[in-house]
Amino acid sequence: LMRYYLNEEPILPNVDTYDLSDPDQREHVIHNIESMVVKPAGGSGGYGLVMGPSATEKELVGAIAAIKEDPRAWIAQPVVRFSTYPTVVEDGVIKPRHVDLRPFAVNDGTNVYVLPGGLSRVALPEGSLVVNSSQGGGSKDTWVLEDTQTVDRPVPREVPRAAMVDMDIPDRVDAPVAHDERMLQQERQQQQQGGGPC
């Protein structure tokens, strides 16, 4: 995305993603499928993925057949080994579980600000690398600690009061019912198909 939108090279490398419509990349993935994660190209939420290292022989053979049948419908990535973190699991026991961290950054057009904290996702089933909440994953608080405290300006002792604005707001706004019905129908179809966009 950085190369496309900003014409810049990323500072931190992304995980390699293989385009299985490319014959060379497809053959590489098929020959190394035990160390790959194979995902539906249009999928989300961890649905339909095959985790090579933990997949059965039948699942791997099925993934290869699906890739050969419709290569454009699949992507693959090498398995990323997540760190583990102490996690309270069933019965209140603390055990290691795999986690990933999604930091957040805001770009105001001139500067990029990395926010303190982020989203830590945890794979709750023992040994799992799937952190998606739709697949049994959870989340953790993320705290950023500093050795020293930096204050650019004094913290105000009194919080300024927000200005009150008089407005006439109707009790109810009627939205187009057709739009709501169409959205509900799409949600039902996605649930019947076993997933949907994230």
The pLDDT tens digits for 125-140 are 887 777 777 777 888 8
CATH 3.40.190.10 fits 2-78, yes or no: no
Which DSSP letter does residue 172 get? -
Query: Residues in the chain, how many?
Result: 198
Q: Are 121 and 131 in contact (CB under 8 A)?
A: yes
Q: What pLDDT is recorded for position 190?
A: 62
Which DSSP letter does residue 80 get? P
- Identify the CA nearest to 39 among candidates 138, 55, 5: 55
Residue bearing tokens 């500067």: 111
Residues of the chain with CATH 3.30.1490.270: 2-78
Q: What pLDDT is recorded for position 43?
A: 77
User: Residue 135: exposed, middle, or buried by beta-carbon count in 10 A (0-12, 13-18, 19+)?
Assistant: middle
- Dist. CA 173–CA 164, nearest whole Å: 23
Phi, psi for residue 60 in degrees, rounded to 5: -65, -45
> For each of the chain's 198 residues, which pLDDT tens digit applies?
778 888 888 887 888 999 999 999 999 999 999 999 999 998 776 778 898 888 999 999 999 999 999 999 999 999 988 888 888 888 889 999 888 888 888 888 888 888 877 888 888 888 777 777 777 788 887 777 776 666 666 655 665 566 666 666 666 555 554 555 666 666 666 666 554 444
Kind and range of the H or E element at 75?
A: strand 74-78
